[in-house]
């Protein structure tokens, strides 16, 4: 499986693409958990890494949904 997703790279993507990525990661997590429960998964770290990737994408989406004033206040 591929390495972790970098947050810096995610910030360059459009919101629609991030939502598609999030949906794909959630499907991958479901499949990994299913394989884990049936003892078919070789590397159990994929579950942890996928969860962290989901968190990264969700964080970038949450940053975009915040009002601009809140973001500007934190920069000061």
Question: In this predicted model, which residue has the larger pLDDT, 29 or 73?
Answer: 29
Buried/exposed 13-36: b ≥16 CB within 10 Å, e otherwise: eeeeebeebbeebeebbeebeeee
CATH number at residue 18: 1.10.287
Boundaries of domain holding 20: 7-75
Chain centroid, CA 36 distance in Å: 20
- Count of the separate structural domains present in the chain: 1
Give the per-residue pLDDT at 7: 87
Q: With respect to residue 63, please indicate whether it lies within any of the assigned structural domains.
A: yes
Predicted model pTM? 0.80
Q: Has residue 2 been placed in a domain?
A: no
The answer, yes or no, to whether residue 45 has pLDDT greater than 60, is yes
Query: Which tens digits make up the pLDDT trace of 9-43?
Result: 999 999 999 999 999 999 999 999 999 999 999 99
């Amino acid at each position: 499986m591929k390495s972790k997703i970098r947050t810096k790279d995610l910030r360059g993507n459009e919101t629609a693409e991030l939502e598609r990525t999030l949906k794909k990661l959630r499907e991958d997590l479901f499949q990994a958990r299913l394989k884990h429960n049936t003892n078919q998964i070789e590397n159990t770290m994929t579950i942890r890494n996928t969860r962290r990737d989901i968190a990264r994408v969700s964080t970038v989406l949450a940053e975009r949904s915040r009002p601009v004033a809140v973001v500007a206040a934190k920069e000061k």
